Every structure is written in C-alpha cells, then in structure tokens.
C-alpha cells in the first residue's frame, strides 16, 4: 500500500522524473505559460510555487536553493528580480486551465499552466459600443 507516499511517478525512474520536472519549471518561468497534460501540471505546480516562495524571501540562501533546481543564473535572476516581486505572498502563484480537447495521439487530458500575474497581460481594446 502507498500510505503517506506523495507525488506521481509517471512511469519514470527517479532521475528521469526529476529532470522532466526541472525542464518544465524552466519552461514555465521562461515563457510564463506552457501546455501540458493535467497530472504533469498538477505536479509542476508544487515545484513552481516553492520556487516563487523562495523568490519572495530574496536572500542568498534562497538564491542558491533556486539555482539547485534551475541551474541557470539568468533564470534565477529573472525569478528573483521580475517574477518574485509581482507576487506579495499567500500562495496561488499558478493557474491550471483545463482544455476541452484531449491530446490527439493517446487522448490524454490537456491543460495550460500559467503564472497568475503575467507581464504581457493585454487588455481587450475598448470599442465605442462598450463606452456608451
């Protein structure tokens, strides 16, 4: 029985699973939204929110812990200088949006995981009918 064993295995070895989640966190912080399967997104949320919480602490030890996962000085700088200051604590840094169409090959449920406060938040242009 799997009592008190958290996390999904994804039918991968430990090293493969760790590498996959690291790559997905890097992509999420680079592009601020990615399209993936639902179970992967739910696991990715845990890793991403821990990193953003480290960015809120903003000390040397937090930067070193973030570098252990990201392995990129430029991504750590972006996390601590741009992404971290957008959030003011409390959690809920990511959002999972389920897509209606499953993946074509194996019918896996797909979703988009994104940061809740993104930089390129483009507002809809106001038309004359909306102003009146």
84-124: per-residue pLDDT in tens? 999 987 889 999 999 999 999 999 999 999 999 887 654 54
Residue 94's domain spans which residues? 14-131
What tens digit of pLDDT does each residue of 33-56 get? 999 999 999 999 999 999 999 999
Q: What is the pLDDT of residues 56-88, one digit of tens each?
A: 999 999 999 999 999 999 999 999 999 999 998
8 within a domain of the structure (yes/no): no
Residue 30 lies in a domain: yes
Give CA–CA dist 24/36, Å, rounded. 9
In a domain, 4, yes or no: no
Give the whole-angstrom CA distance, residue 84 versus residue 48. Answer: 11
**CA gyration radius, the chain:** 17
What is the pLDDT at residue 32?
Answer: 95
Q: Is 126 part of a structural domain of the chain?
A: yes
In a domain, 6, yes or no: no
* Domains identified in the chain, total number: 1
* 83 within some domain: yes
Q: Is 3 a member of any domain?
A: no
Instruction: Flag whether 1 is in a domain.
Output: no
Could you tell me the CATH number of the domain that includes residue 84?
3.90.1030.10
Length of the chain: 132
Q: Where are the alpha helices (DSSP H) in 6-98?
A: 14-31, 38-57, 60-70, 73-78, 84-86
Digit-coded pLDDT (tens) for 11-23: 999 999 999 999 9
pTM for the predicted model, two decimal places? 0.85
What pLDDT, on the 0 to 100 scale, is given for residue 123?
A: 52
Helix (H, G, I), strand (E, B) or coil at 89: coil
């Amino acid at each position: 029985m799997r009592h008190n064993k958290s996390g999904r295995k994804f039918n991968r070895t430990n090293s493969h699973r760790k590498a996959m989640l690291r790559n997905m966190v890097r992509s999420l912080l680079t592009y601020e939204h990615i399209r993936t399967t639902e179970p992967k997104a739910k696991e990715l949320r845990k890793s991403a929110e821990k990193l953003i919480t480290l960015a809120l602490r903003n000390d040397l030890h937090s930067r070193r812990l973030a570098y252990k996962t990201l392995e990129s000085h430029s991504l750590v700088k972006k996390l601590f200088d741009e992404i971290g200051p957008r959030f003011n604590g409390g959690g809920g840094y990511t959002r999972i949006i389920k897509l209606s169409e499953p993946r074509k090959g194996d019918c896996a449920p797909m979703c988009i995981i994104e940061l809740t406060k993104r930089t390129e938040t483009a507002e809809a242009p106001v038309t004359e009918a909306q102003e009146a």
